[in-house]
Amino acid sequence: MPEASLPPASKAHEGLPRAGEATRGALERRLGPLDAAALIVSNVIGGGILFTPPQVAMLVPDAALFLSTWIAGGALAFAGAMAYAELATLRPRAGGEYVYLRDAFGNGAAFLTGWTSFVAGFSGAIATSAVVMVFYTSRFVPALSTAAPWLVVPIVPGRLLVTLSPQTMTAIGVIMAMAWLHRRGIGPGRIVGNLLASLKVAAFVLFIAIGFSWGSGTVAHLSERAPVAAAGWLLALIPVMFTYSGWNAASYVAEEIREPGRNVPRALALGTGAVIAIYLLMNVLYLYVIPVGDLARIDRSVLDVIADRLLGSSAGDIMGVVSIISLAASISAMTLAGPRIYYAMARDGLFFSRVGFVHPRYHTPSTAIVAQAVWSSLLVLTATADALVNYTGFAIVLFSGTAVVALFVLRMREPDAPRPFRAWGYPLAPAIYAIASAAMIVNGLIRTPGPTGAGALIIAAGLPVYFLFRAGTAGARRGT
């Protein structure tokens, strides 16, 4: 669909500049559907597919039903992706669910999703991935991953320490290098991101091909049966859906995708579809090599176990390289996607105005990229990233589910608005996704009230910050 025929961001946000917006250039539409699909693949495929299958196998010790959880999780992810595709073509702006929640439920709900993304969601995941990436480099350059501290500065004695060590400084170096790259323009970031995503996919596809061609497995493992309770199958769907999370990455950069009315849905369908295919094939390979009962007893990366059986003594080095590439791709994707949320917040006057600055030469939200990198680095230095990510993990489901509910709200509120794409399976498919998300949140509150409650408090801590920014924006308007 031609760019000129796309609907405005929202009737309440048509004009630029917006409240709190810094003087700047503009984002450029330079990404195609394959670029955005690569962003999704890099953002989704990570440690989940390596560590989640044993958890699922414990709950679902039947091979066919085990695979059915991954099919169901993929179907839910695809339903969510198609809902986001409609939202992103209706609101082709940077920020993803921040924009959808803003227009459906107001600035407060929108701010909380952005707040959580900055404090923990993207920044914490970047910090954790950088530290794990440094761990894998220790196989090749041991000196870089030494945890022995050069300096320890107590912020809160016994609880919060700033630690300078080769490990933390190398991780920060990785974070800053990615920030520098993506600050320099969507072009350089796109090239490196596509390269890393291609290497990641190629590595998994090659591993799958080798596993089925030369692996010492048997298809008989795929027909192993065992009793499975319905409650166990439903519980297994929770870690599966977490493993699929990240399929919405293309929506954050909708303002930089060419012809978003056509290309955003294509990217979401292609990227999510590729992830589903890789995940299903990986799990079939796992069962081909390891019986589902033995899979349930693995307490480390399943990929490492499979690699040991397929590749022998050389497995460690090969999987180390694959892991480094995979983590680098994930860090690149998050460095690109996350800052677009904070940029959108600043454009609405709900974050520091400087974060809404777009570099006049590189056409990137350069200040937002640097801000995320600095906060991620602080999380590395204080070793708080893991806790934040664990506490706020349910927020991924909460806000994506709420964004899908926003689809229903905007359909009712703006029935005649031009929609270049309409969600497939509406209203049933998005309704099932929203209900499944709500069930996961309730389950988290019941089964793990401590971490889930702590995450809820972190999200709620954004409310006073929101009121401060809102008061500042109101004061600025009165002064003009």
For 99, 409, 410, 431, the CA distances from 102, given in Å and listed in that order, are 5, 12, 11, 20
Q: What DSSP assignment string belongs to 241-275?
A: HHHHTTTTHHHHTGGGBSSHHHHHHHHHHHHHHHH
Spans of all domains in the chain: 28-474
- What whole-number distance in Å separates Cα of residue 179 and Cα of residue 464? 29
pLDDT in tens, the chain (480 residues): 333 333 343 443 444 444 444 545 789 999 999 999 999 999 999 888 888 999 999 999 999 999 999 999 999 999 999 999 999 999 999 999 999 999 999 999 999 999 999 999 999 999 999 998 998 888 888 888 788 889 888 888 777 888 999 999 999 999 999 999 999 999 999 999 999 999 999 999 998 998 888 877 899 999 999 999 888 898 888 889 989 999 999 999 999 999 999 999 999 999 999 999 999 999 999 999 999 999 999 988 888 888 877 776 666 778 888 889 999 999 999 999 999 999 999 999 999 999 999 999 999 999 999 999 999 999 999 988 778 877 777 888 899 999 999 999 999 999 999 999 999 999 999 999 999 999 888 888 888 888 888 889 999 999 999 999 998 876 666 666
pTM summary value: 0.90
* Domain made up of 28-474: CATH architecture: Up-down Bundle (1.20)
